[in-house]
Structure 1
Amino acid sequence: MIKKHGSAIWTGTIREGSGKVNTQSGVLSNVRYGFNKRFGDEPGTNPEELAGAAHASCFAMALSLQLENAGMEAEELDATSTVYLDKEADGFAIKKVHLDLKARIPGADEEKFQEAAAAAKAGCPISKLFAGAEITLDAKLV
């Protein structure tokens, strides 16, 4: 079993308080987050942005493996994961995540590429974490 961790500290109320988020690697170290960064237009990080970055990076790695298994190698996989936070009667929920992919793969077969992208979408561990959400994909060869 591989174990990685992130941590957060929150102080104060939901609207006036603030937090700091950290990653085991130190890439994020006491990065501030708060209500207006998450629900308003204040610049800064938030949980959905971090989840999207995790999903995009996981998907790109999974796709690299799927492509290799199909006899292809990408020059570049440019993946974006958009996480949708929806308001519900009892709070908020992530019900939809959308992956956009632009792939440069010399000599790629479109059908095999689409099959590999679909398999990576379904198989990447962060996609599995989002199992309760609809995950859509728009994959293009460029």
Structure 2
Amino acid sequence: MPTRTSTAHWQGSLKEGSGEMRLASGAYQGSFSYLSRFESGEGTNPEELIAAAHAGCFSMALSNILGKAGVTPNSIETNATIHLDMPAGITKIELSTVGDVPGLDEADFVKYAEEAKANCPVSKALAAIEITLSAKLG
């Protein structure tokens, strides 16, 4: 399996400093700061990137599970919300997904979504954190 790399560069103190995060693929590069992480400043933050990774991983895992069940989704839209409560850190992740899956009923969609939540690699990596799921067909 491939390995993936990202980098971060930080300059200055925690509150007055600033940094930049980059994906090795070049697909994303963005600034971050104390304000963007803990308040409402411009830029991104590590938790936002974790949320994006989790939403993407979950959506792909769900698509794979649905395919193995013999159905192909038209689309899967997933939102991941991360709760950062200092000093505890990340305390909860809420996944919310809506699928457009012809030929599938709501109960089966929810069942497959729960399986994806339990088995996507990012969920497994974050297993020490409470992860909730809301799943429905749209």
* Structure 1 position 43, deviation (Å): 2.3
Q: Determine whether 1:109 maps to 2:110.
A: no
Aligned residue for 1:26? 26
Gaps of 5+ in 2: none
**Segments of 4+ moved more than 2 angstroms:** none
* Structure 1 position 117, deviation (Å): 0.3
Q: Give the superposed CA RMSD.
A: 1.0
Query: Could you tell me the TM-score, scaled by structure 1's length?
Result: 0.93
**Percent identical residues:** 43
Q: Deviations over 1:34-81 (max 9, x none)?
A: 000111111221111000000000000000011011111110100011
Aligned residue for 1:49? 48
Contact 1:77 1:104 (8 Å CA) reproduced: yes
- Count of residues in Structure 1 that have an aligned counterpart in Structure 2: 138
Structure 2 CA distance, aligned partners of 1:44 and 1:139?
30
Gaps of 5+ in 1: none
Aligned residue for 2:69? 70
Q: Secondary structure at the match of 1:97?
A: strand
Structure 1 CA distance, aligned partners of 2:111 and 2:42?
37
Q: Which amino acid aligns with 1:125?
A: P
Q: Determine whether 1:95 maps to 2:91.
A: yes
Query: Could you tell me the TM-score, scaled by structure 2's length?
Result: 0.96
